[in-house]
Chain A
Amino acid sequence: MGPQRIERDILIDAPVEVVWAVVTEPEHISGWFSDSVELDLRPDGRAVLHWDEHGSVQGRVERVEPPHFFSFRWVVHPDSDLAEDNSTLVEFSLRAEGGSTRLTVVESGFQDLAGPDDEKQGHFDSHRRGWELELGDLDDYLRQRTQTPADR
């Protein structure tokens, strides 16, 4: 079955300090993540990720231990305020391997997200988080479910 956490890692041919800057400095973050970002890089610091196409996503810095560890929570749906049950935790770890850096990212907390009963969640952003069903599959599925038994 699918995991409750996602862990990925990559080896980067650059010193830890350089990778740290790319991961935590807004002018770099806009090169690999959102179109622009506001980031108060300290525990409880506010983070706002902004996508021109999708709107803004609220976040909150959790831990900052330069240049080895950085974590933040971010909201699943754009334009909602951050709460425990509508956000996931993202943790970056940086470890020197010779002159290179092993960068690991873990995203967790998916199981704590509020279910479909929570009407306050606002619209589901199908693009940003990629949890969406493939639309074709979803169409098939909805058709199946709305068929009466006699149609089958």
Chain B
Amino acid sequence: MSPVAAEADELWSAVADPTRRRVIAALLDRGEATATMLAGELPVTRQAVDKHLAVLNRAGLVERRRRGREVRHAVRPQRLDTATRSMAQVAAEWDARMAAIRRIAESAARERREEHTTQEAKR
């Protein structure tokens, strides 16, 4: 796998997990939060929060900020935008395919109607 592909896959699998998406949503709500705050808010253990934060951090979606003795985590919005846009693109591809299905089906239906009318006229 090329480095570019590996990066894209990493980003993809980071946002594909539902708990990680909840972590992201909680961070977006608060602006920034410690792992302890997140564990208090989500139905997962502190250890699990740490693990998810590590994955998000590796994918570049979340950054660590030192506040005195605390480490707070925050979303990097630009990176998140890139991740969500890739889903939007899958949707856009289906829109294009469905528009093509409509074009083909409507022209087939039109032909069928015309044949029908011609046959009626011949009677």
Q: Is the interface of B mostly helix, strand, loop or mixed?
A: helix
Interface residues on B, range: 35 or more
Q: Is the CB of B87 within 8 A of A2?
A: yes
> Which B residues are CB-close (under 8 A) to A134?
82, 85
Q: Is the CB of A124 within 8 A of B79?
A: no
Known A-B contacts: A12-B106, A22-B108, A110-B12. Give 17 more (CB < 8 A). A1-B21, A2-B86, A2-B88, A6-B87, A6-B90, A10-B95, A10-B98, A14-B108, A32-B104, A116-B6, A124-B2, A124-B4, A124-B9, A126-B5, A130-B89, A132-B8, A134-B85
> Within 8 Å of chain B (Cβ to Cβ): is A150?
no
Contact with A along B11-24 (1 / 0, CB 8 A): 11101111001001
Q: Is the CB of B105 within 8 A of A22?
A: yes
Q: Is the CB of B105 within 8 A of A14?
A: yes
Q: Which of B86, B89, B112 contacts A18 (CB 8 A)?
A: B112
Q: Which of B3, B87, B109 contacts A13 (CB 8 A)?
A: B109
